[in-house]
């Protein structure tokens, strides 16, 4: 089962990463000004991760592939890493769909 690792950045904002069972980061958040807003973001990821329509598939300027997970209001709630291929990106999306809904939350230093 995946997990959400949360931390407070040096900038004072709160962040989370969704980790696969092997510990690899599969989705990262933007910064949140409060811990409660970050936890709301985690709940939004859990809710939206099973909906194919919430994944925006993109290509970077350096021709790498990535995706954003969006909430129902269109706001980006998580970004993936960069992948070398579209199949890698698809595997990343499937990993988010599999790991996010039941992921536990852990606090990091």
Q: Could you tell me the two tokens for 97?
A: 């769909």
Predicted local confidence at residue 108, as pLDDT: 77
Per-residue pLDDT, 109:
61
pTM of the model as a whole? 0.93
Q: Does domain 3-107 have CATH number 2.30.29.80?
A: yes
8 Å CB contact between 33 and 80? no
- Residue 19: name the closest of 95, 108, 84, 82 by CA: 95
CB 55 within 8 A of CB 74: no
Residue-averaged pLDDT of the chain: 95
- Which tens digits make up the pLDDT trace of 71-102? 999 999 999 999 999 999 999 999 999 999 99
For residues 40-66, average pLDDT: 97
Dihedral sign for Cα 21, 56, 51, 8, please. Answer: positive
- Residue 1, pLDDT score: 82
CA 5 to centroid of chain Cα atoms: 11
Mean pLDDT value of segment 45-68: 97
* Domain boundaries defined on the chain: 3-107
User: Using CA atoms, how far apart are residues 24 and 18, in angstroms rounded to an integer?
Assistant: 8
Residue pLDDT, tens place only, 33-45: 999 999 999 999 9
Which 3-state string (H, E, C) describes the chain?
A: CCEEEEEECCCCCEEEEEECCCCCEEEECCCECCHHHHHHHHHHHHHHCCCHHHEEEEECCCCCEEEEEECCCCCEEEECCCECCHHHHHHHHHHHHHHCCCCEEEECC
pLDDT in tens, 5-18: 999 999 999 999 99
């Amino acid at each position: 089962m995946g997990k959400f690792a949360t931390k407070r950045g040096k900038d004072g904002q709160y962040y989370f990463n969704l980790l696969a069972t092997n510990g690899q980061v599969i989705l990262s958040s933007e910064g949140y000004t409060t811990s409660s807003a970050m936890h709301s973001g985690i709940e939004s990821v859990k809710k939206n991760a099973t909906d194919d329509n919430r994944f925006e598939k993109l290509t970077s300027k350096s021709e790498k592939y990535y995706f954003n997970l969006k909430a129902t209001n269109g706001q980006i709630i998580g970004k993936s890493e960069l992948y070398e291929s579209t199949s890698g990106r698809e595997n990343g999306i499937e990993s988010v769909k599999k790991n996010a809904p039941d992921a536990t939350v852990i606090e990091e230093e």
